[in-house]
Amino acid sequence: MDVRKFIEIMSVAEKLKNNTRHSWTSSNRHESVAEHSWRLSLMAYFVKDEFPDADINKVILMCIVHDLGEAITGDIPAFKKTADDEIIENIQVNQLLDSLPEPYRKELSMLFIEMNEQKNIESKIFKALDRIEALIQHNEADISTWLPLEYDLNLTYGEKEAEFSEYMKELRKAVNEDTVNKIQRSKESVS
């Protein structure tokens, strides 16, 4: 790849370090989109033994690039994202992908299609982990950062995405238990 194009792409990606998500960290600050993608990638690496037939390198790549559009649009929490927001983000992603040289343009364009279609094991692993990472992050944050709707949302978010795998269902259940315990502890500390 041409070095100037490389630097240009990295400059776009750098925005993911600055763009924050709705989630808070345990140190009481908003997490960045890049931090979410980094831990999501780490999660994918650590589930590789659970999915021996999956191309985990592909899953990790999905985790790395899935929020590239947010370098331009910023993060919109799942509970606020509309169909129009999805369309705008997809347009931004496609413009970004179209600006890439080959073979990266084709490879990443195909990857985004796979992620959106959710037909193969790799895209299902990615999507389930993406949901679960957000839940783990919420459980690690101080409960005072939660919005009222998140008390219920955190108990159901990602259930559908985890259904394809016994391991993912078990992981989602464990995260759910942590959520219930966190909510219970917060109620006990008030009383």
pLDDT tens by residue, the chain, 191 residues: 899 999 999 999 999 999 999 999 999 999 999 999 999 999 999 999 999 999 999 999 999 999 998 888 878 778 888 888 888 888 888 999 999 999 999 999 999 999 999 999 999 999 999 999 999 999 999 999 999 999 999 999 999 999 999 999 999 999 999 999 999 998 887 76
Structure tokens given for 159: 């259930």
Q: What is the pLDDT of residue 80?
A: 80
Structure tokens given for 138: 């919420």
Q: What is the pLDDT of residue 81?
A: 82
Residues contacting residue 50 through CB under 8 Å, at least 6 positions apart = 165, 167
Q: What is the pLDDT of residue 126?
A: 98
Q: What angle do CA 23, 33, 178 make, to 5 degrees?
A: 35
Q: What is the pLDDT of residue 73?
A: 82
In this structure, CATH architecture of domain 3-189: Orthogonal Bundle (1.10)
Alpha carbons 88 and 82: distance in angstroms, whole number: 10
Residue 147 CB burial class (10 angstroms; 0-12, 13-18, ≥19): exposed
Q: What is the pLDDT of residue 191?
A: 64
